[in-house]
Structure 1
Amino acid sequence: MTFYAFLIALPMHFAAWLHPMHVSVTEIEMDEKEKRLEIMMRVFIDDLETTMRQSFRQPELDVLEPKGQSLDELMQTYLKTRFSVSLDGKTQVIKYLGHERDHEAFIFYVEVDKVKKWKAIQVQNSIITEAYDDQSNLVHVTRGETVRSLRLTRSKPSDIINFESE
């Protein structure tokens, strides 16, 4: 009898072990020469599709071949409420540039132009969190030789990094 209980429990154990992790990675780099923040966001396609289906109330949405609007148009709309950057307390204008596919993920490119000297950056990144409560949005900010990181979640969608000591 114990052997049969083991056989029943074994698939449940592996299912829990194989459960996907919900994560995105955002890289923000200060380009001192061009005076802009260059931002890349890597998001898994299946997580984004699930989220956009809910957000846009389009249960049949296929992000690989959307009908009516392009993925770039959908993403611009979606990011307006889910992603923002402030420098020294001043909200910046995000310019959406486009995307590319990288295997099972999309990489979205955005930037902030005309960046003046700053000491603190606040990043709000709540993408995918409305669909998955375990979503982690990792944010790496590079300024000069210094890289600092944040982990943003549904319960903590925004945080600040100070670069005052540089």
Structure 2
Amino acid sequence: MKLLVLFYYFFLHPFHTSVTEMTYNGKEKSWEIAIKLFQDDLETALSVYSKRNFKVSADKEVEKVLESYVRKHFGFSVNKSLQTPYRFLGFEPQNDAIWVYLEVPTTQDLSGVFLENSLLVESFDDQTNLIQVAKGEQKKSFLFQKGKTIQQISW
């Protein structure tokens, strides 16, 4: 069994990554954020975070732990101190991934704001978190990883 698990992690799951899409919705005057995480990676991180064996399911307790974890590892700040609040809208399992949905109600373009994305970094040394930001025609990508979990958004 141990050999099978090692085979899976080294050959079938050779990297650890997440993808986040941040898109400005001018009609709603808010930033819509969708974070895609691999379910097995997320369950590993949540098991460490909650100090118990964790499986993602449609359960209020799961949602509470997931929201707490995301708020600890994903956020915005101005001058690295003032936190920009966001709404946790929920999550959705899809095949082997979990989509987490957030919303930042604001008309600002977030330029100059510091963004933190340290999701799963404490569980996987090779974790990378890609964020794609789009407001109208303006688009930019940011890569977060161990040692580089906070970056300033600039256009």
Q: Same fold (TM over 0.5)?
A: yes
Name the residue aligned to 2:16. 22
For residue 20 of structure 1, report the CA deviation from its aligned partner: 2.3
The aligned residue for residue 5 of structure 2 is none
Residue correspondence of structure 1 range 83-98 to structure 2 within 5 A: 83-86=74-77, 91-98=83-90
Show CA shifts across 1:111-155 (max 9, x none). 111333543342101010110010000000001112100110121
Q: Which amino acid aligns with 1:83?
A: F
- Match for residue 63 of structure 1? 56
Structure-2 separation of matches of 1:19 and 1:105: 13
Tell me if structure 2 keeps the 8 A contact 1:49–1:63.
Answer: yes
Partner of 2:123: helix, strand, or coil?
coil
1:17 deviation in Å?
4.9
TM-score, normalised relative to structure 1: 0.79
Tell me how far 1:162 sits from its aligned partner. Answer: 1.1
RMSD: 2.5
Instruction: For 1:1-166, list aligned pairs within 5 A.
Output: 16-58=10-52, 60-64=53-57, 69-86=60-77, 91-163=83-155
Gaps (5+ residues) in structure 1? 1-14
- Following superposition, the deviation at residue 86 of structure 1 comes to 3.4
The residue identity in structure 2 corresponding to 1:57 is K
**Is contact 1:30-1:144 (8 Å) kept?**
yes
Give the conservation status (yes or no) of the 8 Å contact 2:20–2:131: yes
1:88, 1:119 within 8 Å by CA — same for their partners in 2? no
Q: Tell me: CA distance 1:16–1:78, structure 2 relative to 1, closer, same or farther (3 Å).
A: closer
| Alignment coverage as a number of residue pairs | 149
Counterpart of 2:123, as a letter, is A
Instruction: Give the TM-score taking structure 2 as reference length.
Output: 0.84
1:96 CA drift (Å): 0.1
- Following the alignment from structure 1 to structure 2, what is the Cα–Cα distance between the partners of residues 80 and 144? 27
Whether the aligned pair in 1 keeps the contact of 2:110 and 2:153 (CA below 8 Å) is no
Identity of aligned residues (%): 30
Cα contact 1:48–1:128 (8 A) shared by 2: yes
Q: Is the 8 A contact 1:88 1:118 kept in 2?
A: no
Q: In structure 2, do the counterparts of structure 1 residues 134 and 18 end up closer, same or farther at CA, with 3 Å as the change threshold?
A: same
